[in-house]
């Protein structure tokens, strides 16, 4: 199976990934949702993480305080940013993230080749949108929260994106996961 570029997003039932001002309050308290980031079965082929600057700031403030062996802490992390120069991960016990410059598609494709495995993008709405616009995403993993937010920020580009749902699952906290395949423009 060839390596993939995967976008993993948490969204409301109406497709919102963040409120207009950036808040994600509608999902942070959902049972099991945040910890599902590192689901072992879904993460078995992932070799590296690509984050945008804002998601890096949020993740690096939270995840290094959790179990160091979690995939989110263990995997090499890369931050696509024009403003961040250094990307520490916690208090120095865990390896820092690497800051990347360039366009999202070029960086993601380079990482895929470098690691010879799947690259995952968590959150990072601008990065995800750029990758989808460039046609380099193989799968989108959605975690859908049962609430309609009514408006806010999305990661989907302003163009049609055809995909096929290949797996869905309901979780005890009322949210669902969906794995969707896209046809990458190679």
Locate the domains of the chain by residue range: 5-19+43-166
pTM over 0.85: yes
| Residue 113, C-beta contacts closer than 8 angstroms, at least 6 positions apart | none
Percentage of the chain surpassing pLDDT 70? 95
What pLDDT was estimated at residue 67?
A: 84
CA dihedral (164, 116, 129, 42) in degrees, to 10, reads 50
Q: Which CATH class is domain 5-19+43-166?
A: alpha beta
- Residue 89 reports pLDDT greater than 70: yes
Predicted local confidence at residue 160, as pLDDT: 92
Q: What is the pLDDT of residues 102-123, one digit of tens each?
A: 999 999 999 999 999 999 999 9
The pLDDT assigned to 39 comes to 65
**Cβ count within 10 A of residue 185:** 9
Task: Classify each residue of 2-27 as buried b or exposed e, where b means 16 or more C-beta atoms within 10 Å of its C-beta.
Answer: ebbbbbbbbbbeeebbbbeeeebebb
Segment 7-65, tens digit of pLDDT? 999 999 999 999 999 888 888 777 777 667 666 667 888 999 999 999 999 999 989 99
- Which pLDDT belongs to residue 27? 84
Q: Widest CA span of the chain, in angstroms?
A: 43
Stronger pLDDT, 62 or 92, i.e. the higher one: 62
């Amino acid at each position: 199976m060839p390596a993939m570029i995967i976008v993993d997003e948490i969204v409301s039932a109406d497709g919102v990934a963040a409120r207009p001002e950036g808040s994600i309050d509608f999902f942070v308290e959902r049972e099991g949702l945040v910890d599902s980031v590192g689901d072992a079965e879904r993460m078995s082929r992932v070799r590296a993480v690509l984050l945008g600057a804002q998601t890096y700031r949020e993740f690096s403030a939270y995840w290094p305080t959790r179990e160091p062996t979690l995939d989110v802490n263990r995997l090499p992390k890369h931050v696509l940013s024009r403003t961040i120069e250094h990307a520490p991960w916690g208090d120095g016990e865990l390896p820092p993230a690497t800051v990347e410059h360039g366009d999202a598609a070029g960086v993601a494709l380079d990482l895929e080749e470098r690691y010879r495995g799947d690259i995952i993008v968590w959150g990072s709405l601008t990065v995800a949108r750029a990758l989808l616009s460039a046609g380099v995403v193989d799968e989108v993993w959605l975690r859908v929260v049962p609430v309609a937010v009514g408006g806010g920020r999305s990661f989907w580009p302003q163009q049609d994106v055809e995909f096929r749902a290949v797996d869905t699952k309901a979780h005890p906290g009322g949210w669902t996961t969906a794995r969707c395949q896209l046809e990458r423009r190679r």
